[in-house]
Each structure stands twice: as structure tokens, then as C-alpha cells.
Structure 1
């Protein structure tokens, strides 16, 4: 009988797949990173317990393209996160992470609990002009535009913690099938080139990605860089299901979100 590829893999095949994943080359991305100060009440409102705001109400957006081995097209990868703390650990809580390929969704979403969704991620450079955007459902809800203003010295290797909630919604539509957990994802980042960008961040109203509720009150910086990142995660706490449930719509495109009012009142 011919090989049935949906059939069970042998132990040897599973071991070979694990060995191959450990031999992947360094993957470098080219990306725009913008950081701005926003409304502290808005940051506090989007953080599920036990996460709390830090002393700085910051938002960070990363819009990157990645050339993956064996893939004909580059991966577009984005993230918009707010500054957050879990006890003494400060880091970032991503609200939305658009990806242009299904393959990029599964590992982070199922393993780490990352809020990844299929979307459009674009990054273009024409000499000194830079334009980057995150879009879903026909709306470019984040756009970064600017002009490269000069080289910056690459920073030393850095460590960053991202916070994720890993859970499965219940089969009957009420609560969770198993107890949700809080994940600390440690990212070790190296930068080989960095440039300063003079520009702006534009947030547009979107029903399913309402990042416009985190307005740009003061732009801290925009940079364009080449980076590589390694990540590892661990479960650090069990989470109160009742406390997390009101925030689950952050993860999914809930049709009832069309009833939500934008900041400042009803439509």
C-alpha cells in the first residue's frame, strides 16, 4: 500500500523532524518598530488579570518581513503590544499579531498562546522613504510612514518578555475546556543594522482590530532594523477563568464586536 501521509508517523520520523528543527539557520528579519505613549487608562483596560500596567503607558508595533528557508514568498509578521507587568517582571502584552502565512500561525498560537491571526503585512522602502502597514478585513489599522534619517549603532543583544494567555474555549461555548494559563515568552534579540526613521504612526478605526483606542499621544521613536530572535516559553501561573473570560474576544474575530462602540461614544 502506498504511504498514507495522514497516517501516524513512526518514532524515527518524529525524531528526524525534531533533529531537523534544531538545525535551522539563523533567520533574520527586516522590520519597522515604532513606540509611542498612549492613554494610561486605555492600557489598563486591555490587560487581563493578573497583568498590570507599568509606570509608562507605552504601545509598541513591529512590522517585519522574513525570508524563511524553503518558502517561495517572504513571511509578513506583525505585532502590536502594550507595556505590562506580571509581579516584578515587566514586558509586553501583544493584542494582535497578524501573519501572512498559515504556517506561521500554528506554532505560536497553539504552543505559546500568541494572538496570531491571518492578515496583510507590508513593508516597503524606496531609497530613504519607508512605508509599513498591518491590515485585516480590508482595513489598514496601523500604518507607519517616514524617511530614514541616519544610521544608529546596533544595540547590544537584548532580552524581552512577552506575556500570553494560553486557553481553549469550551465546546459548549461557555467558558474554557481546561484552565487557562499565563505564559512568559523570553525573546533573545540581536540586531545587526539599525536606522532612525523620522515619520508618523496612523491608527485607523477597525471593528475587529480596534487599536485606534490606543492613540498616539507622544511618539517615542521609529526605527528600521535587521534582527534575529530566539524565543522560549514557560507556564508561570494558572489564571482565574472568570477573570480572563471578558477578554477572550481579543483573540478571535467575534461577530458581536460590531456592536462595540469606538472610543468616545457610539457610531
Structure 2
């Protein structure tokens, strides 16, 4: 009997619930320019008083089933913000190893994921991690792990994304509805420590994180433990709210960007 695996068959280990992960890595917040945040944050999300970027660079062991684990490195960069008064962060960049985790996150949750190479190294209390695409190590974070900090080990954080299908015929528009989604990330860390370190952003036309300068490092932490990730649809949004930001999901080195100091059109 022949088989056809382009049609999905029965599966006992696939579910729609939270994905369990084991992680270690670095969480950090840095202050940047107000005009950068004003241009970077799409509607209906609202900026906070302080112009900050929150990011994490972590090694993740994704436990897809009892006998299947996928290990990847992942960089997530966000703008802390609120939606209808509730705190969260808008994700404008995700880069990680592995085609399957990239495509599933983009199509299911609207995450702006890209395939990348990641590298972690640790020597005693010194840890360094990099993210590389197109041969350019455009992101690097490193520091020294210090004392335990008095912050919650268990909590939930929310990350906002946008899910849509770009138009076949009309650039800047979408085929069908566009949705604001929310990732629900449950953290259950076993260790959380303060760090002293630096963030280095190198020029890349494919991943221009260097356009969001590090003015002041506000906080850096080393974490390890377990997480569970899931998400939900929040609402439909007009496509024009997110259309100017969609280029960040693509590799478009010809994009000249916008001149800052000019608030994006509503």
C-alpha cells in the first residue's frame, strides 16, 4: 500500500496547548531614542513613558513530545507597551535556528521569525551569545553573572504580534483580515541572577537592529529554568496599521527606511 505524506494523517502527540521548554540565557532592557519608539510601535499599541527595548537571547530545548526535543538558540527583540491598559511588549524581531520552528511561529501566531545561526559560550561566570544572519553577527550580548536577585521566579508575560497575508496583487495591502495576536509566555525559572555586560549591534541591511541604538543599559539578567508558551487572537486590525512595519519580517536590503523625527501617519 502506498502513502501520501502531503496530506496529514492521524497523530497522537500533536496538541493545541502550551509548548513546554527548558531555557537558559540572557534577558536585558536598554534605553533608546524616543523618536525610534514612536516610529517603531504600530497601532493600537501604546508606548510607555520610558523609551526602552526589551530583549532576550536564550538557548531553548523545546519538548514537543515525551520522546522528541528540539534544541535551538533564539533572539527576541520587543518594545514594552500596553494594549487597552494591559502591559506587554510588541515583538518586531525574532531570529532562531531551525526552519520548522520559524515557519510554524510565523504562520500560527504571526511571529516575525527569521532563520539564523546562534552561538553561546560560557567560561565560569562569563557568558557570551551572538546571532548571525547572512554571515553578519549583527547582535552580540555578553556579561558576567553575579548574585541572585530578589525578583519573581514564576510569572507570565505577554508579547504582541500581527498575523496577516500580504496581498498577491497590491503591495502594502493584505488578502483577508489582519489580526493582533498575543503570546502568553509562562516563566518558571529555577535561577535568576543579575549581570554586568554589554550589547553590541552591528550594521546589517537585512537585520537593522543597529538603527535602534543602545543609549543606556537598564537591566541585564541571567535566567534558567522552564517555560510554557502559547497564544491567542485579540482582535482584527486595519491592515494599514501594520503595513509599514511588515518589511521587518523580510530580507530587504534595499529598504532605505524613514527619516526619524516625523511621526508615522495614522
Q: TM-score normalized by structure 2?
A: 0.87
SS in structure 1 at match of 2:14: helix
Partner of 1:55: 49
SS in structure 2 at match of 1:109: helix
8 Å Cα contact 1:63/1:122 also seen in 2:
no
Partner of 1:130: 127
Partner of 2:2: 2
- 1:68-121 CA distances to partner (integer Å, 9 max, x unpaired)? 456687311110111122221221111111111112112221111001100122
Larger RCO: 1 or 2 (CA < 8 Å, sep 6+): 2
8 Å Cα contact 2:102/2:115 also seen in 1:
yes
Extract unaligned runs of 5+ from structure 2.
Answer: 262-266
Q: For the residues of structure 2 that align with 1:23 and 1:42, how far apart are their CA atoms? A: 33
Choose which of 237, 240, 264 in structure 2 pairs with 1:239. Answer: 237
- 1:26-74 CA distances to partner (integer Å, 9 max, x unpaired)? 4211111111111121011111111221122111121111234566873
**Quick check: 1:166 aligned with 2:163?**
yes
In proportion to residue count, which structure has more helix? Answer: 1
SS in structure 2 at match of 1:231: strand
Q: For the residues of structure 1 that align with 2:106 and 2:139, how far apart are their CA atoms? A: 22
Number of residue-to-residue matches in the alignment: 257
SS in structure 2 at match of 1:216: coil
8 Å Cα contact 2:205/2:252 also seen in 1:
no
**Quick check: 1:78 aligned with 2:75?**
yes
Choose which of 219, 222, 240 in structure 1 pairs with 2:220. Answer: 222
**Quick check: 1:109 aligned with 2:106?**
yes
In proportion to residue count, which structure has more strand? Answer: 2
Change (3 A) 1:126 1:202: same
Q: TM-score normalized by structure 1?
A: 0.87
Choose which of 63, 86, 95 in structure 2 pairs with 1:98. Answer: 95
Change (3 A) 1:184 1:126: same
